Structure 1
Amino acid sequence: MGTHVIKMPDIGEGIAEVELSQWHVKVGDLVVEDQVLADVMTDKAMVDIPSPVHGKVIALGGQPGEVMAVGSVLISIEVEGAGNLKESAAPAPVKEAPVAPKVEAAVESKPAAATAPRPAAVCQGPMVAREADERPLASPAVRKHALDLGIQLRLVRGSGPAGRVLHEDLEAYLAQGQSNASAPVAAAYAQRNDEEQIQVIGMRRKIAQRMQDATQRAAHFSYVEEIDVTAIEELRAHLNEKHGASRGKLTLLPFLVRALVVALRDFPQMNARYDDEAQVITRLGAVHVGVATQSDVGLMVPVVRHAEARSLWDSAAEISRLANAARNGKASRDELSGSTITLTSLGALGGIVSTPVLNLPEVAIVGVNKIVERPMVVKGQVVIRKMMNLSSSFDHRVVDGMDAALFIQAIRGLLEQPATLFVE
């Protein structure tokens, strides 16, 4: 038997170190060729590290959250044959990273008699053997899901690593009718004194660093404008009815991308990057629109490249493709970098007003709020219109307030008179 050492690979672009984000294996696991061993985080993207060999994991070279130099030992695998490790270079085994942070046990109290209890699922099957004060492994989202369902997690058998309870385990538990009939029926009203510590690592650390950097370096100011989107929503519905089956359904986002492209022709200073160290503003002819997308690991900004050369359906298809790649953790570094202006939207959850943070080194970000129906006065008559706010932020070091207001007013005019989006 021999040892095959996998070193932190050179990911390119002059990157000298990366952050170890997550292990997918532990010491003692048997692995096969091409199996993903770990995720590492660069400044731009999450990268999978696959195994080039079959074998058994005998040592891990770091813990999640640790910044490792390119070329350092990532993992050691016992293999048949000689392996690739010279005896003089044998690494000392590293203690395996903990599966989950230490959590203080929850303390339940008796429910108040006057409150209406949440119904609990009925128990008809065997329970998992856990102590009453034993806290099973589960993510915060799974814990909330269990609370909403009236399920005590200690009664649920976990199928994840180290017995971690997953969402699927909750659904299987309910489907089998396995709930504890003796459990307090008002568990939702029990006192809680538990605490959970979560390391800020991986994508969450990168997001925190970028947001802090942006707010410290740029002179943010925001501008909010109300837009009547009745006409463009009617156009969108008409196009979807006529072409949706053959070309795909259109959301509002490709129309907003088109409005950005047209408005930027008259406001090129918004489609720019500012190098504050070199004191240089670079205005770009190409419009590479970053579309802020929420994923399981945090906010990511995949880039619709050359939006100025795309039709509505082309933009819609690319936005959908990139969003899916980001949410599934499959977006490449190139797909997550190089934007010149960013569009951010929470859809129906967009609220009334927001204050988006710039995606440095860009100088403008356009935030989309939710669409609501409201009574408006049009030509002296009160009518119901679909209204939406644009909440946008700019770098005041580069963009003057008047220019920002005129830019958003230009976008407003294009969206309220949608035919002008396509007039050349």
Structure 2
Amino acid sequence: MGRYTFTLPDIGEGIAEAEIVAWHVKVGDTIKEDDRVADMMTDKATVEMESPVSGTVIEVAGEAGDVIAIGSPLVVIEVEGAGNDTASPGAAPAPKAAPVEQRIAAENPDASDVDRVEAAVSNGPPRPAEKPAPVAKAEPQAAEPQREHARVLASPAVRQRARDLGIDLADVRPAEDGRVRHGDLDAFLSYNAGGGFAVSGRKAVDEQVRVIGLRRRIAENMAASKRNIPHFAYVEEFDVTALEETRAQLNAGRGDRPKLTMLPFLIAAICKLVPKYPMLNAHYDDEAGVVTRYGAVHLGIAAQTPAGLMVPVIRNAQDHNLWQLAAEITRLANAARDGSAKSAELSGSTLTVTSLGPMGGVATTPVINRPEVAIIGPNRIVERPMFVRDASGTERVEKCKLMNISMSCDHRVVDGWDAASFAQDLKKLIEAPALILAG
């Protein structure tokens, strides 16, 4: 018998280390060639590591959340023959890693949930700072049983949160329209923790959850963005009554084309204004002291997924019409949600739009997606009476649909005057949607 040390290969993305996201083997397991042993997360994607040999696992490198260097031992396998000792003439070469889809539990939301995938801000991948973990023997761990809950109306994010909390959605009583929302989960937790009757018979317990993988990258990049970028926010109110009427008319005759939400109109308007405000469509390299202003708009769409917040990117958004934008938003949101998004589709944005959809609130202060210098967030549409002046100068009260749009900008690159001027020009386009459609 011999020992085969499977080292973490060069994944080909110019990275020096990767994080262990999940183990698929443990010490004592018998595996075959090409069996999956671990999922590793780089700065750009999750990759699957497959065993190059058959044998018995005798050592693994650390635990989920540990970061190891390229070339460091990942798994040690007992094999028939001499293994891959340097003295062994027939040592097998380390395989190249192959990108794989992130495995996320399948959800069955209704059609309205596709629009609600327009979600909160996410930032690009941070740089892990941990030192490589030494190879150590690991004890076998029993797999945690997963409890199936009844299928009820809820968004993927609510389902994932319920799973994380160990809550059966069938036990939660929705506050309205039969759909379980985050507020319903909060009420359920508060009621049970306060001594109320727990329908499921479970009591609220404290839980420690290790922050690893995508969740850690989000946390680190958010902290780096707030620590390094002097944010300032600007909020303006928009009358979207005419835009909503235009959207309804276009959707009524859309045929087999995708449904238009607010986002395609907003993105098209932003792209029209970028040539006038190039300082917003830019990256700031604070180490080199260089601002790069981009001619093309690679528009990031912050999306909530069961795995966490991601930012899929619409390449050359300025070249897309409304229908093409709607199709690309849906495609990228679905790809991010089911884990099929490619690495290139999750990086390289030059400006980001973030939306919480119907939960958008009155105003937000989104965190900039570093190294970008601006992020734009539409908020919830509300109906309110407004004074409207007609062509003759007569004022009357009308019911209008109003929406705030929030911006966060990097004050090192974008002045307050620039942000305010951009917002006022954006307001003109949004409130007269024909100008968006005009060439």
Shift of 1:409: 1.6
Shift of 1:234: 1.8
Which 5+ residue runs of structure 2 have no aligned equivalent? 92-133, 145-149, 151-159, 173-194, 390-394
Find out whether 1:149 has 2:164 as its counterpart. no
What secondary structure, in the 3-state scheme, does the structure 1 residue paired with 2:214 have?
helix
The one of 413, 416, 426 aligned to 1:398 = 413
Whole-angstrom distance in 2 between the partners of 1:354 and 1:139 = 22
| Higher-Rg member (1/2) | 1
Structure 2 residue aligned with 1:21: 21
Structure 1 residue aligned with 2:113: none
Whole-angstrom distance in 1 between the partners of 2:79 and 2:247 = 59
Find out whether 1:326 has 2:336 as its counterpart. yes
Whole-angstrom distance in 2 between the partners of 1:25 and 1:374 = 58
Whole-angstrom distance in 2 between the partners of 1:212 and 1:97 = 35
Give deviations 1:317-336, integer Å, cap 9, x for gaps. Answer: 22222212222223222211
Whole-angstrom distance in 1 between the partners of 2:371 and 2:331 = 25
Give deviations 1:338-368, integer Å, cap 9, x for gaps. Answer: 1100000111111111110011111100012
What secondary structure, in the 3-state scheme, does the structure 1 residue paired with 2:167 have?
helix
Whole-angstrom distance in 2 between the partners of 1:204 and 1:233 = 36
Structure 1 residue aligned with 2:374: 364
Find out whether 1:299 has 2:309 as its counterpart. yes
What secondary structure, in the 3-state scheme, does the structure 1 residue paired with 2:253 have?
helix
Give deviations 1:79-136, integer Å, cap 9, x for gaps. Answer: 66765455889x97621486799xxxxxxxxxxxxxxxxxxx9xxxxxxxxxxxxxxx
Shift of 1:404: 0.2
Shift of 1:6: 3.1
Structure 1 residue aligned with 2:324: 314
Which one-letter code corresponds to 2:67 in the other structure? V
Structure 2 residue aligned with 1:62: 62
Whole-angstrom distance in 2 between the partners of 1:280 and 1:400 = 17
Structure 1 residue aligned with 2:384: 374
Shift of 1:259: 1.1
Shift of 1:187: 2.8
Shift of 1:202: 1.1
Structure 1 residue aligned with 2:434: 419
The one of 203, 208, 212 aligned to 1:201 = 212
Whole-angstrom distance in 1 between the partners of 2:385 and 2:262 = 22
What secondary structure, in the 3-state scheme, does the structure 1 residue paired with 2:423 have?
helix
Give deviations 1:187-240, integer Å, cap 9, x for gaps. Answer: 359895732111111111111111111111111000111111122222222222
Structure 2 residue aligned with 1:166: none
What secondary structure, in the 3-state scheme, does the structure 2 residue paired with 1:247 have?
coil
Q: CA RMSD in A?
A: 3.2
Shift of 1:241: 1.8
When residues 406 and 78 of structure 1 are mapped into structure 2, their CA distance, relative to the original with a 3 A threshold, is same
Whole-angstrom distance in 2 between the partners of 1:392 and 1:62 = 42
Find out whether 1:94 has 2:140 as its counterpart. no
Whole-angstrom distance in 1 between the partners of 2:314 and 2:245 = 25
What secondary structure, in the 3-state scheme, does the structure 2 residue paired with 1:22 have?
strand
Identity %: 53
Give deviations 1:20-70, integer Å, cap 9, x for gaps. Answer: 122233334455565543222222333333445555544322211111001
Whole-angstrom distance in 1 between the partners of 2:286 and 2:140 = 40
Whole-angstrom distance in 2 between the partners of 1:98 and 1:356 = 40
Whole-angstrom distance in 2 between the partners of 1:205 and 1:314 = 33
Count of residues in correspondence between the two structures? 355
When residues 198 and 92 of structure 1 are mapped into structure 2, their CA distance, relative to the original with a 3 A threshold, is closer
When residues 50 and 373 of structure 1 are mapped into structure 2, their CA distance, relative to the original with a 3 A threshold, is farther
What secondary structure, in the 3-state scheme, does the structure 2 residue paired with 1:196 have?
coil
Whole-angstrom distance in 1 between the partners of 2:140 and 2:330 = 36
What secondary structure, in the 3-state scheme, does the structure 2 residue paired with 1:420 have?
helix
Whole-angstrom distance in 2 between the partners of 1:140 and 1:86 = 50
Q: Is the 8 A contact 1:58 1:93 kept in 2?
A: no
What secondary structure, in the 3-state scheme, does the structure 1 residue paired with 2:168 have?
helix
Which 5+ residue runs of structure 1 have no aligned equivalent? 102-120, 122-137, 151-183
Shift of 1:415: 1.2
TM-score by length of 1: 0.75
Q: Is the 8 A contact 2:376 2:408 kept in 1?
A: yes
Structure 2 residue aligned with 1:128: none
Whole-angstrom distance in 2 between the partners of 1:378 and 1:264 = 30
The range that moved more, 184-193 or 250-259, is 184-193
